[in-house]
Amino acid sequence: MKTLYVKTYGCQMNAYDSAKMADLLAPLGYATIDAPEGADMVILNTCHIREKAVEKVYSELGRLRGLKAKKARDGGRMVLAVAGCVGQAEGAEIVAREPAVDLVVGPQSYHRLPEMIARTARAGGHALETDFPALEKFDSLPAPASSTVSAFLTVQEGCNKFCTFCVVPYTRGSEQSRPAEAILREARQLADKGARELVLLGQNVNAYDADGWSLAKLCDALSNVQGIERIRYTTSHPRDMADDLIAAHGSNKKLMPYLHLPVQSGSDAVLEAMNRQHSADDYRRQIDRVRKVRPDIALTSDFIVGFPGESDSDFEATLQLVRDIGYATAFSFKYSKRPGTPASTMRKQVGEEVKTARLDALQKLLLSQQHAFDDSQIGKIQPVLFEKTARETGQIMGRTPYQQPVHVIAQPSLIGSVADVRIERRTANSLHGTLA
């Protein structure tokens, strides 16, 4: 028996890929452990989206170099692999900078890991695979060995949008949709292993388009899979919010009232410079259409502050958009210069202090909206899908249809099922209630 430690950075698609890598290596005798010390193989599944994310990877590699040397002194061998988006973007630099790295694979080529491990064991040196055979990858992945109650399922990969700040089109390749058939098969396998909720993943998941299947049609088919109670999807792009998908939020009872639709900025000038290809009012109209069919829908977004050229009034337009929409929760980031992207060489970069002040102001507003949204649930009864035991003894954790975590004192036997909960109070990041 050999041991494998996988550390995941970045988005949910990386989390999905990490689980797949573990499934792929299990037949080679690797059992997953939850710390790198003494492991026979370590995979860092990395994220390139912001500079800080990349720095974390290099400092972790430094630490692993030490662990690898110790393992060698003890007469063993630790195979060190870098997967994910930093691997894709900086593969050659990684092996030059960190000779302890044996293998580098990109997000579309990790299905070749077993063969690469064998190759380096035979011939020594390092191996590097950063092609983009996305669909070949999916065809070569094994069936899921286990599942959580809420399971990720990647249905779409890559991005053709080329927002001027973003590395994803370069690290994940162009937009590709998996055939519906393969997705339905994986959904049935996940349901057999205990999945009750599917979270459909894609960098542009609502751009899903495979042989005439739209995301709405896919959600309808998935809602007939035995055992599946809930369906969610993330992340969407405003330009791909098709009529049938909006309609599905009214007609498909298993499609949860939750939509993550990133807008990035409320200023038309900034949206244009970002190459988002829609205006702030286009976005407002999209939201109006969604709210018409599902007035209670929980809305979330991503925001970037301090994009090159963003003025005080541009930033004020973002705050105004947030006030107009009213979010359930949202993610916000300081603009981070990414090598090779058009925005990184734009003149008028915004200073760090201004970015910090804007991020603080935006996060304050978003947090007050999150609290208001959570507080609006207090006193109501909501169907909660229970996912796991919580750290606090005797409690189990589940989620409302709006994705809010709820803690309840109840039997762990409820995990995997939906029960009505009376919401009683809110703490910093969670709701608390009792079985109704």
- Residue 14 binding: pick among ligand F3S, ligand SAH, ligand SF4, none (C-beta 5-8 Å cut-off by kind): ligand F3S
Q: Does 209 bind ligand SAH (CB under 6 A)?
A: no
Residue 221 buriedness (CB in 10 A; 0-12 / 13-18 / 19+): middle
Q: Of residues 81-140, which lie at the interface with ligand F3S (CB under 6 A)?
A: 84-85
Provide the H-helix boundaries in 141-195: 168-172, 180-192
CA 31 – CA 116 distance, rounded (Å): 18
Q: Contact with ligand SF4 (CB under 6 A): which of 48, 112, 137, 161? A: 161
* Shortest separation between residue 274's beta carbon and ligand SF4, angstroms: 8
| Least distance (Å) between residue 47 CB and ligand F3S | 3
Q: From the list ligand SF4, ligand SAH, ligand F3S, none, pick the one residue 169 interacts with, judged by a Cβ distance below 5 to 8 Å according to partner type.
A: ligand SF4
Q: Helix 12-25 and helix 84-97: axis angle, to 10°?
A: 70
H or E element, residue 425: strand 418-427
Q: Which of 47, 330, 350, 431 binds ligand F3S (CB under 6 A)?
A: 47
From the CB of 340, what's the least distance to ligand SF4, in Å? 13
249 and 136 Cβ atoms separated by less than 8 Å: no
Which one among 4, 6, 10, 186 touches ligand F3S, defined by CB under 6 A? 10
Going by their DSSP bridges, the two strands 329-334 and 41-46 should be labelled as: unpaired
Q: How many angstroms separate the most distant Cα atoms in the chain?
A: 65
Taking CB under 6 A as the criterion, the residue among 3, 5, 7, 13 binding ligand F3S is: 13
Give the x-and-dash track for 178-217 against ligand F3S (CB under 6 A).
-------------------------x--------------
Binder among 3, 42, 43, 48 for ligand F3S (CB under 6 A): 48
Among 14, 45, 148, 203, binds ligand SF4 (CB under 6 A): 203
Q: Segment contacting ligand SF4 (CB under 6 A): 2-10, 124-132, 162-170, 416-424?
A: 162-170
In this structure, what are the phi and psi dihedrals at residue 240, rounded to the nearest 5 degrees? Answer: -105, 15
146 close to 193: Cβ distance less than 8 angstroms: yes
Taking alpha carbons only, the member of 222, 107, 217, 93 closest to residue 159 is: 107
Give the footprint of ligand F3S on residues 153-172 (CB under 6 A): 167-168, 171-172
Of residues 223-262, those binding ligand SF4 (CB under 6 A): 237
CA-angle at 82, arms to 79 and 86, nearest 5°: 170
Query: Would you count residue 163 as binding ligand SF4 (CB under 6 A)?
Result: yes
Q: Do residues 127 and 119 lie in contact, with contact meaning Cβ atoms separated by under 8 Å?
A: yes
> Residue 345: which residues within 8 A CB-CB, separation 6 or more?
none
Among 3, 18, 176, 203, binds ligand SAH (CB under 6 A): 203
Binning the chain into helix, strand and coil, the percentages to the nearest 5 are 40, 25, 35
Here the tokens at position 368 are 């007050």
- Minimum CB separation of residue 235 from ligand SF4 in Å reads 7
Taking contact as CB under 6 A, which single stretch among the options 21-29, 160-168, 185-193, 428-436 is the one that binds ligand SF4? 160-168
Mask 237-266, x = binds ligand SAH (CB under 6 A)?
x------------------------x-x--
Half-sphere exposure of 315 (CA within 13 A, CB side): 24
**Pattern 162-191, ligand SAH, x by CB under 6 A:** ---xx-x-----------------------
CA distance 59 to 69: 16
Q: End-to-end distance of the chain based on CA atoms, in angstroms?
A: 47
Q: How far is the CB of 89 from ligand F3S (least distance, A)?
A: 8
CA dihedral defined by 184, 146, 298, 167, rounded to 10 degrees? -80
Binding partner of residue 47 among ligand SAH, ligand SF4, ligand F3S, none, CB under 5 to 8 Å per kind?
ligand F3S
Q: Are strands 127-129 and 258-260 parallel, antiparallel or unpaired?
A: unpaired
Angle at 46 between CA 50 and CA 184, to 5 degrees: 110
Residues near ligand SAH (CB under 6 A) are 49-50, 165-166, 168, 203-204, 235, 237, 262, 264, 302, 304, 333, 335-336, 338
Binding stretches for ligand F3S (CB under 6 A): 10-11, 13-14, 47-49, 84-85, 167-168, 171-172, 203
